[in-house]
């Protein structure tokens, strides 16, 4: 039996981890914590496995029964809560991104090593069956040499919680790149390199904060994270569009990402193309993929059910605590993705290519 605490009872807690953890028989949710106590209480109503609600996460850290905590708060709090939890001797599952920048992410890894505790990051797509299959097929040589990856994560109107934590750089670390690009670029690195990883060479990017620079004038039809918005007094200083180019030791990557853009909504693009000399694959983000085989002009659409990736990543976290073996979502295997985001932002800031090994 694993006794755990959930810290942060917002969207990802209610929509992903609490449903998954409720299904895992050998997990006891002793605490649900939120600085807004009513959110922890609302979670307890929905998920009866929750035993206690608390406002201060230190209460859970002081409880010797708690073996692991889930950090499901806004990005800037990941660092503080994870460091406190590791120092209190807890294993930590921390949502993506690791935190707001690469330097602090490295400190989190060092603390996990120092305390001898597991620190996993919620890049859930590594447990998506399409991603698992593509990584395996690439390892087996199905695509030959993947020389380039084309990636697009572009939406028409989807700036989350305008003026709140998502659009305030000091709290989020960035906009569409760190919020959505983190998933796309991480899964690309994983498919290209598996657990051996990919080595970054250099990157270049341009990022823009254009669509809602006048927050009150921004027009949208629907927007998620409405409950955190503060259009009157808040801040919006993050990228709503980014375009970048990445060179690695495996393949080059070109990508465009938009939380919002003035393009016909029908053109929403959320795909990744892996271009290999034997075959290529288009992964529809969050869904299935097609393989295009150059010799036969065959289109293969794998048929399979996609099990719940959150359930798999949470179960794998507990298994790794028991076995002591770091798994694919361990911070050791995610740091290169965080470095990539960091270097892309640096490049966009100075409008120059960045050597990732300088």
Ligand X SMILES: NC(=O)c1ccc[n+]([C@@H]2O[C@H](COP(=O)([O-])OP(=O)(O)OC[C@H]3O[C@@H](n4cnc5c(N)ncnc54)[C@H](O)[C@@H]3O)[C@@H](O)[C@H]2O)c1
Least distance in Å: CB of 144 to ligand X? 31
Of 239, 243, 273, give the one whose Cα is nearest residue 259. Answer: 239
Q: Which is nearer to ligand X, 14 or 202 (CB)?
A: 14
Beta carbon nearer to ligand X, 35 or 106 = 35
Task: Report the 10 Å Cβ neighbour count for 247.
Answer: 16
Give 41 or 353: the residue with its C-beta nearer to ligand X.
Answer: 41
The tally of CA atoms less than 13 A away on the side-chain side of residue 170 is 3
Which residue's CB is nearer to ligand X, number 124 or number 159? 124
Q: Nearest 5°: phi and psi at 150?
A: -110, 130
Residue of minimal Cβ distance to ligand X: 10
Q: Which residues pair with 93 in a beta bridge?
A: 70, 120
Which residue lies nearer to ligand X by CB, 12 or 137? 12
Which helix (H) or strand (E) covers residue 139, if one does? helix 129-139
- Single out the segment in contact with ligand X by CB under 6 A; choices: 20-28, 67-75, 82-90, 296-304: 67-75
Binding mask of the shown chain, residues 120 to 149, with x at each position contacting ligand X by CB under 6 A? --x-x-------------------------
When binding is defined by CB under 6 A, the residue of 4, 10, 121, 347 that contacts ligand X is 10
Distance CA 9, CA 37 (A): 9
Nearest alpha-carbon partner for 274 in 141, 127, 176, 138:
138
Question: In whole angstroms, how far apart are CA 207 and each of 83, 346, 351?
Answer: 31, 10, 9
Q: What angle do CA 106, 83, 72 make, to 5 degrees?
A: 95
Q: Report the C-alpha gap between 38 and 58 in whole angstroms.
A: 18
- Tell me, by CB under 6 A, how many residues bind ligand X: 22
Residue 129 to residue 345: CA distance in whole angstroms:
30
The yes or no reply on residue 73 touching ligand X (CB under 6 A) is: yes
The residue (of 25 and 45) whose beta carbon lies closer to ligand X is 45
Contact pick of 96, 157, 328, 343 for ligand X (by CB under 6 A): 96
Give least dist CB 60 to ligand X, A.
Answer: 10
The reply on whether position 193 binds ligand X by CB under 6 A is: no
- Contact between 62 and ligand X by CB under 6 A: the answer reads no
Q: Give Cα 178 distance to the centre of its chain.
A: 8
Residue from 57, 184, 285, 318 that binds ligand X (CB under 6 A)? 57
Work out whether 35 is an interface residue with ligand X (CB under 6 A).
yes
**Are 60 and 5 contacting, i.e. CB atoms less than 8 angstroms apart?**
yes
Please identify, among the stretches 9-17, 243-251, 275-283, 287-295, the one whose residues bind ligand X according to the rule CB under 6 A.
9-17
Q: Counting contacts by CB under 6 A, is residue 95 touching ligand X? A: yes
Q: Site for ligand X (CB under 6 A): which residue of 7, 104, 238, 283?
A: 7
Number of H helices, E strands in the chain: 12, 15
When asked if residue 33 is in the footprint of ligand X (CB under 6 A), the reply is yes
Q: Answer yes or no whether residue 17 interacts with ligand X by CB under 6 A.
A: no
Q: Phi/psi zone of residue 325: left (φ > 0), alpha (ψ -120 to 50 degrees), beta?
A: beta
| Pattern 221-260, ligand X, x by CB under 6 A | -------x--------------------------------
In the chain, beta strands by DSSP E: 2-7, 27-33, 52-54, 68-71, 91-95, 119-122, 146-154, 200-208, 241-248, 252-258, 269-276, 279-284, 289-293, 298-300, 354-355
Binding site for ligand X (CB under 6 A): 7-12, 33-36, 39, 57, 72-75, 77, 95-96, 122, 124, 228
């Amino acid at each position: 039996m694993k006794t755990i605490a959930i810290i942060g009872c917002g969207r990802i807690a209610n929509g992903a981890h609490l449903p998954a953890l409720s299904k895992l028989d050998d997990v006891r949710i002793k605490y649900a914590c939120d600085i807004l106590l009513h959110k922890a209480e609302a979670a307890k109503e929905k998920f009866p496995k929750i035993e206690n609600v608390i406002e201060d996460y230190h209460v859970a850290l002081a409880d010797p029964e708690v073996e692991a905590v889930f950090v499901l708060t806004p990005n800037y709090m990941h660092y503080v809560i994870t460091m406190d939890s590791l120092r209190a001797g807890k294993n930590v599952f921390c949502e993506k991104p690791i935190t707001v920048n690469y330097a602090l992410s490295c400190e989190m890894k060092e603390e996990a090593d120092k305390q001898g505790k597991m620190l996993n990051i919620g890049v859930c797509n590594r447990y998506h069956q399409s991603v698992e299959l593509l990584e395996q097929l690439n390892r087996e040589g199905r695509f030959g040499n993947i020389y380039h990856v084309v990636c697009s994560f572009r939406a028409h109107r989807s700036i989350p919680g305008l003026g709140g934590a998502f659009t305030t750089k000091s709290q989020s670390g960035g906009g569409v790149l760190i919020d959505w690009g983190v998933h796309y670029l991480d899964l690309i690195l994983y498919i290209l390199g598996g657990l051996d990883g990919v080595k970054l060479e250099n990157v270049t990017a341009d990022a823009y904060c254009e669509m809602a620079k006048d927050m009150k004038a921004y027009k949208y039809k629907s927007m998620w994270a409405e409950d955190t918005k503060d259009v009157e007094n808040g801040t919006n200083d993050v990228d709503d569009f980014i375009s970048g180019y990445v060179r690695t030791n495996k393949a080059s990557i070109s990508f465009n990402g938009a939380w919002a853009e003035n393009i016909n909504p029908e053109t929403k693009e959320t795909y990744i193309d892996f271009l290999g000399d034997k075959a290529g694959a288009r992964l529809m983000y969050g869904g299935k993929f097609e393989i295009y085989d150059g010799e036969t002009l065959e289109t293969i659409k794998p048929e399979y059910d996609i099990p719940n990736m959150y359930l798999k990543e949470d179960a794998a976290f507990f298994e790794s605590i028991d076995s002591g073996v770091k798994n694919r979502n361990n911070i050791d295997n995610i740091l290169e993705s965080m470095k990539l985001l960091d270097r892309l932002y640096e490049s966009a800031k100075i409008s120059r290519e960045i050597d990732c090994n300088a």
